[in-house]
Every structure is written in C-alpha cells, then in structure tokens.
Amino acid sequence: MRRRVFVRDSALALVTLGLSPSFLRRTVLTAQLPRAASGKVLICLFQRGAADALNVVVPFGERAYYALRPGIAIAPPTRAAGPAGAIDLDGFFGLHPALAPLKPLWDGGIFAPIHAVGSPSATRSHFDAQDYMESGTPDHRGTADGWLNRYLATSGTCEQCAPTPFRAVAMSAQTPRALQGSAPTVAMNSVTEFAVRGGGTQAAQLEALYRTGAADLIHGTGREMFEAVKMLRAANPQQYQPAAGAAYPNSPFGQRLRSIAQLIKAGVGLEVAFADVGGWDTHVNQGGATGQLAQRLGDFGTSIAALVTDLGDRMQDVVILTMSEFGRMARQNGSGGTDHGHAGAMFVIGAGVRAHRVHGTWPGLASEQLYEGRDLALTTDFRAVFAEVASKHLGARQLRAVFPGFQTTAFPGVML
C-alpha cells in the first residue's frame, strides 16, 4: 500500500531518495491516516524492576495483607500510625506515605490509580515482562516494534500540527522498546545536552556525511538527529524556568520530567513522551514506611507532583501513565524484601480521568485468591488501560493495529 504512494507520486522523489529526514517522510506517508487529537500529550513512565504494588497502593482494609508481610507492611491510616501510616484514599486502599505529594492530585480529581492490573503472561522475568509490556504483546516474543511506536505509525499528526521530529521523545540514552519501530522517535538525556558541540561549520560538515545513504540504522538515525537539533535550537529551551512551586528533585528521574516539561512548553509538537526510573527490584531489605522502597517512591511522587505543578494549565492536554512490568510476591521473602510476583498497580493522571476511586476489581489476598498461591491475581489487562488512554486521550482509532491479538469488549473506565 505504501509502495504505491511512493511510486505514483513523483513529487516524492526526494523522499524515496532518502534525502529528507524520516519524520517528514512519515508526515507525507501518514497524510491519509486518522488524525491524532489536537495538542494532546501522553507521558509514559516505566518503573523498571517491578514495583511492589501492594506497598504502593496499600490494601490496609485486607487482614491477610498484614499476615503476609509482618516485617514490611504499611500500617493503616490511624492516629497511632501517624506519618508512618498509609494515606487513606477510600477507606480500604491508601497510598504509601512517601507518595504524599500525589494526595493533592487525588483530592483535585485528576489521579486515578488502578490495582491488580498487569500482564496476563505468567513470566516472572524482568526482561520478558518489560518486553511484553513495551511491545504490547504479552507472551509474544519477537514483536518487532513497541506499542507506542505502532500508535505513532498508525495515526497522523493532528490536523494543524507542523511536521516535527519531536512527536515522540524518550528521555533516556537509548530508545526504549516501547518506542522502537518504523515511526521516527528521538532519545535524549536532557534537553540542554541535545546539540552538536563543534560549532556551526563543523555541524554542517558532519550533517553532510549523513545526507545520503539508504534508510539504514546509522544514516537514517543521523539525519533525524541533525533535523531535531536544529529545531530544538530554534525553540531555545535553554532559557527555561519551571513554574512557581514546581520543585523537581535533583534526581535523574526528576530532571527527566523537567526536560519533558521543557519540551511541552517549547511547543515543538511533543505528543508522546517516555521516561523510566529504576531501583524497584527490592529483593532485600525493602523497608516499610521508610527505607529503600520509600525512598524510591519519594523521588517518584515528588517528581510527578512537580511536573503537574510545572505544567499548570497545560495539564488539561496531558495524561501521565505509569507502569511496571509486574508486581511482587504477596508474602515477604527471607531477606526482608519481596520476590517477583504477578499483578501490579498503575497510575493515570490527567484532567480526563474518572476520579476519586481506586479502579480495578480487587481479587483479595487470601491464599486461595492468590495467583499460583503466592501473588496478587490479575483482574485488568494492562492493554485495556493503554488502549483506553490511547483512544480517549490521543484519539487513536486503530487499536487493533496497536494491540494485535488483543480483544476486549469494554474499557475499564479509567477515563471519562
């Protein structure tokens, strides 16, 4: 199909020569695709290492929870527990106390947590599970592209949007699996580092080296990079000042979110952003209200809260979606930690969420309710949440292409 577009339209000769950057080529190619909703942004945040969902969104109303985790459980939100207790959400679930910065988002009606959600795959391998979640195809190894890239490839940019290399950006040194695929994407460590350091003349000479050559990995990536550098320089994001009250932690994750806000505010056409944060593989001494996991969650929650504050009114157009490859065992292990488990928890944050409730069907933690007798059971497929967000927020219409093989009758209702 695409081939005919190439051959028929002689005006595209330059495109076939491989002279134009691939994001321009994409724009031409996707002219007939359904258009994305105007100006919407999706920010995906991956907690790598399998976050311990039972200590993130705490089922303090479940007695079995305390029996399974005598050393690491989060106390219920009582006066006696004080700041070490969970932050009550609905009388049954509470947030880990280190996630206090997210409580105002819950109160403000833009925060929707989902519990017992994840991949139907039985794997407990980080690498497989991350692969499945990012490819959007559980138990199918070898899917070539990521689900976000398939969304980009099957959806045109919005009607009034100018072509941009920054439609999809990963704030990381490498392109994450979720963004790999035929649609062009950009990966960077930070906005300020994204420049050729040799000065204008040498940058132009270097650019000439990559001007021709087929769409192979090196040449194609090189061309995209030079276009992107030029465009970013024109937007001059170096002059950036976060909005008042937006205090990003000085952690790598906090700084990545700050860079994403810079890009959104620079108006370079960002539609899909991706960042990840590690340190969740808490096999040993994960702690309770304080300790290792609490520290990770503190950084996580503070960074997200800063991003929301920084974006201010722009949050009307932004949804933040968090994910982790699986949850952890319901029972603590012999080292004061938790081993690999099954279902986990996700957050959807944005103006269009169905608020003031913890989503998902709670399967319970009694031993006969546990998955394989050990893990939180799964009641919501992660693809149902991804699909709902892609559809309702970004306006994605080709969900079958984005999630091949996935059949669902109804969305989980996380968004309005």
Q: Which residues bind another protein (CB under 8 A)?
A: 2-3, 6-7, 13, 16-19, 48-49, 122, 124-128, 141, 165, 170, 172-175, 180, 185-189, 194-198, 201-202, 204-219, 221-222, 224-225, 228-229, 278, 283-284, 333-335, 339-340, 372
Closer Cβ to another protein, 129 or 389, answer by number = 129
CB of 288 to another protein, least distance (A): 17
Q: Is 340:290 a contact under the CB 8 Å cutoff?
A: no
Closer Cβ to another protein, 295 or 391, answer by number = 295
Closer Cβ to another protein, 124 or 393, answer by number = 124
Closer Cβ to another protein, 29 or 110, answer by number = 29
CB of 61 to another protein, least distance (A): 28
Q: Is 388:415 a contact under the CB 8 Å cutoff?
A: yes
CB of 358 to another protein, least distance (A): 30
CB of 6 to another protein, least distance (A): 6
CB of 160 to another protein, least distance (A): 25
Closer Cβ to another protein, 83 or 199, answer by number = 199
In whole angstroms, what is the distance from residue 373 CA to residue 134 CA? 27
Closer Cβ to another protein, 105 or 266, answer by number = 266
CB of 170 to another protein, least distance (A): 8
Closer Cβ to another protein, 35 or 283, answer by number = 283
CB of 346 to another protein, least distance (A): 21
CB of 214 to another protein, least distance (A): 3
Closer Cβ to another protein, 225 or 414, answer by number = 225
